[in-house]
Amino acid sequence: MVQDFYARVRRDPLLGPRFAAVVEDWPAHEAKLTHFWWVSLGGPAYAPYRYRVADAHAAIGVRGEEIRHWLALFEDCLHAHLPSDLAAQWLARAQAMGRSLSLIAERAPC
């Protein structure tokens, strides 16, 4: 799921250039995010990553439109890979994070 999603991100006209500007090592990025989602959805940690989602996204000035677009692309990918009940659980977590990130983006100075 994570690899397919980020392959879609790289091809996306809005998100592709944005991610290309900040991600230098795609395999490492995907490995870290696979672990992030595993832990976020209740799996035990198997790597020593520390996540600061809000800080990381605020530091690069993520905008609300990018968050909404990311969520739509993520939802499409979830439904392509997972049964509806699992996709719904994963999407609910992503939407909650999206709401938090959107609040941070709205408060950021222009």
pLDDT of 13 > 70? The answer is yes
Q: Treating both helix axes as pointing N-terminal to C-terminal, what angle do 2-11 and 26-40 enclose, rounded to 10 degrees? A: 130
Pair 36, 51: CB distance under 8 Å: yes
- 38 phi and psi angles, rounded to 5 deg: -55, -50
Averaged confidence pLDDT in the chain: 90
Q: How far apart are CA 76 and CA 69, in angstroms?
A: 11
The answer to whether 54 touches 101, Cβ cutoff 8 Å, is yes
pLDDT in tens, 35-65: 999 999 999 999 888 888 777 777 778 888 9
